[in-house]
Amino acid sequence: MHNVLAAAQAIARRVVALAPATVDRSAVVKFAMPGASILIVVAALLVGLPTKPVAAQPLQAFSAIAPQADARGTDSSLPLDVPFQVQFTKPMNQNTVQSALTISPAINLAYHWDAAGKVLSLAPEPHWQPSTQYSVDISANATDHEGLGLTQPIAASFESGELTSGEITATKVVGGLAAPLTTFQVAFTRPVKLATVLLRLSIDPPVDASILGDDPTDETSQAFTLTPKKALATNTDYKISFLDGGSDSAGAPLQPVAPLAIKTLEAPSVVTITPQDGTYAYDTNQPISVQFSVSMDAKAAAALSIKANGRPVAGSTSWTDNNTVLVFAPRRSFAIGSKISVRVAASARSAGGLTLKAAASSGFTVSTPRSHRLAHTPAKTTKIDWTGGIASQTSPWHSAEVYMMSLMNCTRTGSWVTSSGLCSSATHHTLPAQKALSLSSGISNNVSRPYAAEMAKRGVLTHYLDGTSPHSRLVAGGYNCSGENISSPSNPRQAGMISVELFFQNEYWNRGGHYANVMNSHYRSAGVGVWVANGHTRVVIDFC
């Protein structure tokens, strides 16, 4: 260390000696001391250096990378107003790219680049031709900012979409009918301007209405709603149309829009109240039914009120026949001589939300029950004949089929089949009487009898043999209905058919399915099939 300090001082003296004569030596000395310190540090760092020289390393050379490109295609058709994009791996010389690009079939394009100069959007002017296959080619003459061309040319293709289409619908529909408070909507597959819709959408008969799009800015609206300012007329045909022509927001022509023809719901009304007004009832537990003209909201039962001699009657209500018939069962028996009043308030609403045209009312008197009057006034009875014509090979039990229909019509028209096969006026009905059904030979021949034969041959009793159903079998036979009763009596003779009808009747107390089918007001005809095979008798009745 002493030698190092001596050497440093010697160097410092040389620095002083080399200083110009005009320089103040005291100043030089002041400068030299820090210099000496620096030299000391440098010398200290040099002590540990190797004695052998180190060979110099050559600098690494880098070559420029040529750009690459990739087309941003689409899995489905490209909408007519959406640009096709090409993405590059490096910022590109835009002029060389646009010069190297060709598109077929030819179309006017606008070139839009992103801020980095890597993504090129090809925007059609004004739009792509519908349902057209386009090819986009970019040659290797396209270069980046360093002058390097594409590693390989790009060849891409895409298909343009179809013209914008639209559909008109009603927003509130019940059973294929429009509610008077409905609105109408036209929905397009691509954005359309409100001005186009205002000019072309109309309703007939004309109503005062507003039309609004789903985008308040009118930039991307695809659904437009026509809202009548007043409720539409009930039971009226309306047609909502969109005039041909016009274009979407991209300027492409619109496809023709099919008009919507629809009828509004009918305001409900009360058809009948049973027992009828001014009549006598001989059942102290007489059920009361109200038949409406249309299907009703289940809550409409609250509009029914029953009074006996002016006092409310408690009971339970239930709906049948697709909510068109409301049945009231009293909780306690009526007193003999009671005056029963029935009222349906105008607040009762249909399934479509419409209230009754007007309130309805009726009244009847509870008289001495028939069971107490039989000794004085016997029930009237009529005989049901076992007839039906000559049997044939296709209908060997035709007489049984005709007799079965006669028994059902006794029950259906308000009478009651007795165990001896008589048709009596003394009944246990809990559903109103209906008009007699007609016997359909077409349903019998094509649906009921073939199914009865198949069940008898296999010894089974089911509505769903081989995956079929009452509805599917009737439709296959050319009939759009679905009601069916089946049975397996001990024989196909008169006693066997009576046992079937008694079984159906005995479901009156809970309005069971077989009894309900016999009394259903919607049915007008029925087919009957009776067949015996392998010791099994089967009866099939299909209602229409």
**Tell me: the pLDDT tens digits for 298-318?**
999 999 999 999 999 999 998
CA distance readout (Å), 509 to 137, 291, 412 = 83, 19, 15
pTM summary value: 0.48
User: Once rounded to an integer, what is the mean pLDDT over residues 414-439?
Assistant: 91
Do 270-373 and 381-543 share a fold?
no
**Pairwise pLDDT comparison (48 vs 161), residue with the higher score:** 161
Which residue is associated with the tokens 């049948």? 320
The per-residue pLDDT for 55 is 47
49 pLDDT more than 50: no
The per-residue pLDDT for 385 is 79
pLDDT band for 63, please (50, 70, 90 cuts).
very low
H/E element holding 514?
helix 513-519
pLDDT band for 467, please (50, 70, 90 cuts).
confident
Q: Return d(Cα 313, Cα 329) in angstroms, integer.
A: 10
The per-residue pLDDT for 294 is 86
Look up residue 319 and give its two tokens: 């709906």
134 pLDDT more than 90: yes
Q: Which CATH architecture has domain 166-263?
A: Sandwich (2.60)
511 pLDDT more than 90: no
75 pLDDT more than 60: no
The per-residue pLDDT for 10 is 52
The per-residue pLDDT for 22 is 41
User: Once rounded to an integer, what is the mean pLDDT over residues 168-175?
Assistant: 91
What percent of the chain stands above pLDDT 70?
A: 83
The per-residue pLDDT for 44 is 36
User: Once rounded to an integer, what is the mean pLDDT over residues 406-423?
Assistant: 93
The per-residue pLDDT for 7 is 52
Task: Write down the domain spans for the chain.
Answer: 2-37, 69-159, 166-263, 270-373, 381-543
Cβ 214 vs Cβ 126: under 8 Å: no
Identify the DSSP state of 425. Answer: S
Q: Which CATH architecture has domain 381-543?
A: 3-Layer(aba) Sandwich (3.40)
Local structure of 169: helix, strand or coil? strand
What share of residues in the chain are helix, strand, coil (percent, to 5)? 25, 30, 45
CATH of region 270-373, choose from 3.40.630.10, 3.40.50.620, 1.10.1060.10, 2.60.40.3710: 2.60.40.3710
The per-residue pLDDT for 281 is 79
The closest alpha carbon to 117, from 95, 137, 150, 148, belongs to: 95
Local structure of 163: helix, strand or coil? coil
Q: In sequence order, what E strands does 345-463 have?
A: 360-366, 381-383, 416-417, 422-424, 438-439
The per-residue pLDDT for 100 is 94
The per-residue pLDDT for 175 is 79
Q: Return d(Cα 265, Cα 250) in angstroms, integer.
A: 39
Burial of 368 per CB tally in 10 Å (0-12, 13-18, 19+): middle
Q: Quick count: other Cβ atoms within 10 Å of Cβ 110?
A: 10
Mean residue pLDDT across the chain? 84
pLDDT band for 239, please (50, 70, 90 cuts).
very high
The per-residue pLDDT for 389 is 58
User: Once rounded to an integer, what is the mean pLDDT over residues 292-296?
Assistant: 88
pLDDT band for 37, please (50, 70, 90 cuts).
very low
- CATH class of segment(s) 69-159: mainly beta
The per-residue pLDDT for 56 is 47
Cβ 409 vs Cβ 418: under 8 Å: no
437 pLDDT more than 70: yes
Cβ 215 vs Cβ 159: under 8 Å: no
The per-residue pLDDT for 371 is 43
414 beta partners:
none
Per-residue burial over 238-274, b if 16 or more Cβ lie within 10 Å, else e, is bebbbeeebbbbbebebbebeebebebbbbbebeebb
373 pLDDT more than 60: no
- pLDDT tens digits for range 472-492: 899 999 998 889 999 999 999
pLDDT band for 16, please (50, 70, 90 cuts).
very low
Which residue is associated with the tokens 């048709």? 423
pLDDT band for 25, please (50, 70, 90 cuts).
very low
433 pLDDT more than 80: yes
Local structure of 299: helix, strand or coil? helix
Taking the alpha carbons at both ends of the chain, their separation in whole angstroms is: 125
Look up residue 398 and give its two tokens: 């035709």
354 pLDDT more than 60: yes
Q: Return d(Cα 509, Cα 313) in angstroms, integer.
A: 20
241 pLDDT more than 70: yes
8 pLDDT more than 90: no
The per-residue pLDDT for 6 is 55
User: Once rounded to an integer, what is the mean pLDDT over residues 369-374?
Assistant: 46
**Pairwise pLDDT comparison (4 vs 200), residue with the higher score:** 200
Q: What is the residue-wise DSSP string for 179-243?
A: -TT--EEEEESS---HHHHHHHEEEES---EEEEES-TTSSS--EEEEEESSPPPTT-EEEEEE-
12 pLDDT more than 60: no
**Pairwise pLDDT comparison (67 vs 404), residue with the higher score:** 404
61 pLDDT more than 80: no
Q: Return d(Cα 301, Cα 445) in angstroms, integer.
A: 42
214 pLDDT more than 80: yes
The per-residue pLDDT for 532 is 95
pLDDT band for 445, please (50, 70, 90 cuts).
very high
User: Once rounded to an integer, what is the mean pLDDT over residues 380-398?
Assistant: 75
**Cα Rg, the chain, nearest whole Å:** 48
Cβ 497 vs Cβ 404: under 8 Å: yes
The per-residue pLDDT for 460 is 92
The per-residue pLDDT for 4 is 46
244 pLDDT more than 90: yes
94 pLDDT more than 70: yes
What percent of the chain stands above pLDDT 90?
A: 59
